[in-house]
Copies of this chain bind each other. A is one copy, B any other.
């Protein structure tokens, strides 16, 4: 079994993640951390994020249509992604654990973890849209409609 050694880069990556709450991508962390370590490589960032995630020190979040994001908060909680501004935010007021237990009690296999991601329009974008609509009457979040054959 491989023994883990200390590395300044790994510590910096971990700390960077602890000090921000925007659920950054590997590249966002890379850009930020390069201020402190100008020579760090993106590969190192990926390697350490993957390692920290395997160790359970951070969380990797995979969602539809976007690059993986990382979260320094490992307490069980859910996430929301805004399809307007792309922001990912915490949704920690829903009891996911109860939900997970409910599933586990009726499932024959073993449930180890559960990912819950909500998609929609975030409070800020919704507010902006409502202000606009009050003026123009148009709804810029309306999904495009197509003329559709059966398939």
Binding site for B on A (CB under 8 A): 1-6, 10-11, 14-15, 52, 55, 57, 60, 62-65, 78, 80, 82-83, 91, 93-94, 99-100, 102-103, 106-126, 144-149, 151
Contact = CB atoms under 8 A, between A and B. Distances in A.
Highest count of chain B CB atoms <10 Å: which of A14, A65, A108, A118: A118
Given A126-B109, A145-B1, A116 B114 contact: yes
Nearest to A121: B110
A111 B103 contact: no
Contacts of A103: 78, 91, 93-94, 118
A14 B110 contact: no
Given A1-B146, A4-B146, A62-B64, A57 B151 contact: yes
A63 B99 CA distance: 19
B107 A83 contact: no
A14 B145 CA distance: 20
B114 A119 contact: yes
Contacts of A62: 62-65
A4 B151 CA distance: 9
28 contacts: A1-B145, A1-B146, A2-B146, A4-B146, A6-B151, A10-B151, A11-B151, A57-B151, A78-B103, A83-B112, A99-B116, A103-B118, A108-B123, A108-B126, A109-B122, A109-B124, A109-B126, A110-B126, A111-B120, A112-B119, A113-B118, A113-B119, A113-B120, A114-B119, A115-B115, A115-B116, A115-B119, A116-B116
